[in-house]
Structure 1
């Protein structure tokens, strides 16, 4: 059973063109249509639920924004891209303790 922490980050596209969303360090690219919101979900790599952080310790995400794109650095062991209802859009489940068959 998975006992680490889970973090969620909502990203909304309020523009008129698709927004490019990249999730690092997996270099996963997704296009978010206008007037849509997605959720980046990641799981802590440690049993106590702490995060390594990118610029500061114990932060699950770092976000870099440009006019037509957003890059999200997820500091977990895996990520899932979902809609706001929790339905999976894209996922890197290869090393995900929270989504393994034994959890």
Structure 2
């Protein structure tokens, strides 16, 4: 897939305890340990690579933070979750383009 239709967001846990990461609209929940950084990668569902947006148009992600959790709303048709070594943590859809944190 062309990079125009791919977006990447890094999420880091700089705290001293586990952080709950929820990826919506799939409601997939993960525990990030302290010092971990993960990449959330998504692909645009539109042929022109545009994004539907959540609060504003043409935004691939929206992030909501609370004291012990982060929710990432993904506006693509799927997502990949990878660590900084590009090892897969999870994918919400088997029909996503080839997986890779830095696609």
The TM-score normalised by the length of structure 1 is: 0.89
Instruction: Give, in angstroms, the shift of residue 69 of structure 1.
Output: 0.2
Instruction: Provide the C-alpha distance between the structure 2 equivalents of 1:99 and 1:68, rounded to a whole number of angstroms.
Output: 32
Instruction: Provide the C-alpha distance between the structure 2 equivalents of 1:87 and 1:44, rounded to a whole number of angstroms.
Output: 22
66-75 or 84-93, which moves further after superposition? 84-93
47-56 or 84-93, which moves further after superposition? 84-93
Please give the secondary structure, in 2, of the residue aligned with 1:56: coil
Aligned to 1:91: 91
* Aligned positions, number: 98
Aligned to 1:17: 17
Q: After TM superposition, where is structure 1 displaced by more than 4 Å over at least 4 residues in a row?
A: none
Q: CA RMSD in A?
A: 1.5
Q: Deviations over 1:32-54 (max 9, x none)?
A: 00011001111000111100000
- Is contact 1:7-1:60 (8 Å) kept? yes
Any unmatched runs of 5+ in structure 2?
none
29-38 or 4-13, which moves further after superposition? 4-13
- Is contact 1:77-1:95 (8 Å) kept? no
Instruction: Provide the C-alpha distance between the structure 1 equivalents of 2:83 and 2:48, rounded to a whole number of angstroms.
Output: 27
